[in-house]
Structure 1
Amino acid sequence: MTYSPIGKLQRVPLREVWKHEAYDFTQWLQHNIDVLNDSLDLNLITADREQAAGSFSIDLVAEDEDGITYVIENQLEKSDHDHLGKLITYLTARSARAAIWIVSEPRPEHVAAMAWLNESLNADFYLVKVEAVRIGDSPAAPLLTLIVGPSVEAKETGRAKQELSERHEIRKRWWTALVSHPDAKLHAHITPGFGSWLGASSGIPGFGYWYSVTMKSCTAELYIDLGTGDSEQNKQIFDRIKESQASIDASISLPVSWERLDGRKACRIRLNLPGGYRSPEEEWPNIQFQLITAMNELEQALRPVLKSLSVSQ
């Protein structure tokens, strides 16, 4: 069988094709914007050179058929911080919806930065690698490869991260306010964190007093876990405490939820309250006052029972 000859793809130094970045490459791209469209699946229809952005000049400002503005920054060398800064500056100066950065060699840290920008900002960022290639004695041809681009998944990931960050920040404010309350003596020494739980030891190993908070509710509880790996021992301790249920319930102003949690290792005795960290912040003081009061009532009601257990153990 006879095969047709197949040429070998050769890379050509960029400066042999475009000697000057602004005068050669940028002008070439302005008149061959379809090459960029094919590589990025865009539909840019105009491209203007040296557009003003304050005291700077943007390499290219393009628009697609929907009138969306793209700023394009060209760099026929390794990516650097200076050009990344320019790209963001141009994007904001022109109120553009998208930014395209074309480089000969994208550094890993800039690949990560562009991916982060796609997740974090309401704009689209493209990082494109430019090469020149030829087969045999053919004229050099451009090869544009998308390294980083926007995607639905990236935007969803960015929104999820932002929501998580906001949730962490607001929960830390919630806990900071709670432990600062003068009646929150059990947890006054605890450093507020970002989580949904805040706990302190009862002074007896295996028994902890924990607060929890969600968007719309909060709890105060005794958490029972002796840490022996034997869930049955936790259940036995819970049952012994429950023998005093009548007196404990009578000394607490809220309904008490006795949760043996069969099938799980630990047990708990919990008080549930309405209102959480997504409640209006002006309502937090009242919600937290009720929560702290509930915790103090729970601790006082359980203190003699836990003391007797500690002595008997």
Structure 2
Amino acid sequence: MAIYEITADSLRELKETSYAKAGVKERNDLQRLLRMQVEVISPDTLVIAEEFGEWTEGSRRIDLLGVDKDANLVVIELKRTDDGGHMELQAIRYAAMVSAMTFDRAVEVFSGYLNKISSTTDAREALLEHLDWSEPDEDRFAQDVRIILASAEFSRELTTAVLWLNERDLDIRCMRMKPYQDGEKILIDVQQIVPLPEASAYTVQVREKERRERKDRAERYSIRKRFWSKLLEYANTQTDLHSNISPSEYHWIGTGSGVRGLAYTYKVTQHTSIVDLYIDRGAGCKAENKKIFDTLYSHKDQIEAVFGGPLEWRRLDGSKASRIVIEFPGGYRDDESEWQAIIEKMVDAMIRLEKTFSPFIAQLKAGG
């Protein structure tokens, strides 16, 4: 895209140039000017350090380090090149290195920076005022590190990498600062190209939704595995039916009955628990599954009398498998103090279920 000047007679195209041709230096010019007007590429950010690199004896330095209004650290990496080089890799390394910075450490760094630029501002008070805090809050400070990449242009490889990283919960923005020549004047067109500004709010919402879902999924897996551990610990004192299996993070655990495709399974949802005989002999066996189910169902009254209560007979005509089920209220999201009562009901039902169906399954086994 080009930039045009509107004149009385025409649109006059401004000539695109490079920082090198224009004699603009990365550190002495771009960095110095952005340090004083960081809002050009990062609104609501307070610069607390320039050329920060106290973690290493080498020459690697963060061009500008800031803190935003949400108390997140902001790593700003500048390049005057036409493709951005490998600045995203540098910035990620820098972000990792400063991620553990505390409020008190930030005040020390900020104080050193203010002394360097001959400012008499009190670092602590200025940082508190920027955050709109009356007192430091370490639990909220530097909970995340944002990254701003500013360059004349970005390669496709770099923007592809940034988009991929942002999908994985990093917060990286690419700010294109393209220079133009107008006689003796140097103009800069500043545009956020990743993420696109019009998509930023939606992208943030999607990322937050995905983060919540991942957190919920991890929590769900952890809780279920703990539930199964308790169930198997108790079940193994009552029966050896599931003694050869380990706790799972998934919603079910099961063991074979001695006949291919018939399994005794426990299932648990957030507020429901299930014990069942699951019938599925594999691909292409739908008719066989239904025949086994129908054979068992023909003895329904006898089976339920031995079991000691009604069962749910789910032929599931639209599915390959069939199930014979006992379902209870209470699941892994109920209060953990209630788990033992839920588990005891499930194990008791499983013992009675296995005892009830064993003779019939033996007949199926004998019949092949």
Report the TM range for the smaller structure's normalisation. 0.7 to 0.9
Aligned partners of 2:68, 2:289: CA distance in 1, in Å? 68
Letter in 2 for 1:60: G
Check 1:211–1:204 CA distance in 2 against 1; reply closer, same or farther (3 A cut).
same
Check 1:189–1:304 CA distance in 2 against 1; reply closer, same or farther (3 A cut).
same
Structure 2 counterpart of 1:168, from 213, 221, 244: 221
Check 1:134–1:228 CA distance in 2 against 1; reply closer, same or farther (3 A cut).
closer
Other-structure match for 1:196: 251
Check 1:297–1:59 CA distance in 2 against 1; reply closer, same or farther (3 A cut).
same
Check 1:69–1:176 CA distance in 2 against 1; reply closer, same or farther (3 A cut).
closer
Q: Secondary structure at the match of 2:174?
A: strand
Check 1:186–1:25 CA distance in 2 against 1; reply closer, same or farther (3 A cut).
farther
Q: How does 1:262-281 map onto structure 2 within 5 Å? A: 262-281=317-336
Structure 1 counterpart of 2:179, from 133, 137, 142: 133
Q: How does 1:175-186 map onto structure 2 within 5 Å? A: 175-181=228-234, 182=236, 183-186=238-241
Letter in 2 for 1:10: T
TM-score (norm 2): 0.67
| Structure 2: runs of 5+ lacking an equivalent | 1-8, 56-61, 80-86, 107-137
Q: Which has the higher strand share?
A: 1
> How many pairs are equivalent?
292
Aligned partners of 1:50, 1:228: CA distance in 2, in Å? 64
Establish whether residue 210 from structure 1 lines up as the match of residue 265 from structure 2.
Answer: yes
Other-structure match for 1:32: 37
Deviation string for 1:24-62 (max 9, x for gaps)? 44441244345236xxxx5x3x745439x9x89973345
Establish whether residue 116 from structure 1 lines up as the match of residue 168 from structure 2.
Answer: yes
Aligned partners of 2:240, 2:337: CA distance in 1, in Å? 23
Other-structure match for 1:60: 66
Aligned partners of 1:312, 1:285: CA distance in 2, in Å? 40
Letter in 1 for 2:332: Y
| Structure 1: runs of 5+ lacking an equivalent | 119-124
Other-structure match for 1:50: 49
Query: Is contact 1:249-1:255 (8 Å) kept?
Result: yes
State the shift of 1:207 in Å: 0.8
Check 1:267–1:48 CA distance in 2 against 1; reply closer, same or farther (3 A cut).
closer
Deviation string for 1:219-266 (max 9, x for gaps)? 111111222514222222111111222221112244311111122221
TM-score (norm 1): 0.78
Letter in 2 for 1:134: Y
Aligned partners of 1:83, 1:31: CA distance in 2, in Å? 21
Check 1:265–1:70 CA distance in 2 against 1; reply closer, same or farther (3 A cut).
closer
Query: Is contact 1:178-1:184 (8 Å) kept?
Result: no
Other-structure match for 2:301: 246
Q: How does 1:276-295 map onto structure 2 within 5 Å? A: 276-295=331-350
Deviation string for 1:91-140 (max 9, x for gaps)? 8767268754223465866654454335xxxxxx4423454422465515
Aligned partners of 2:239, 2:102: CA distance in 1, in Å? 49
Query: Is contact 1:14-1:132 (8 Å) kept?
Result: no
Structure 2 counterpart of 1:84, from 67, 89, 95: 95
Aligned partners of 1:74, 1:14: CA distance in 2, in Å? 24
State the shift of 1:198 in Å: 1.2
Check 1:47–1:206 CA distance in 2 against 1; reply closer, same or farther (3 A cut).
closer
Check 1:111–1:227 CA distance in 2 against 1; reply closer, same or farther (3 A cut).
closer
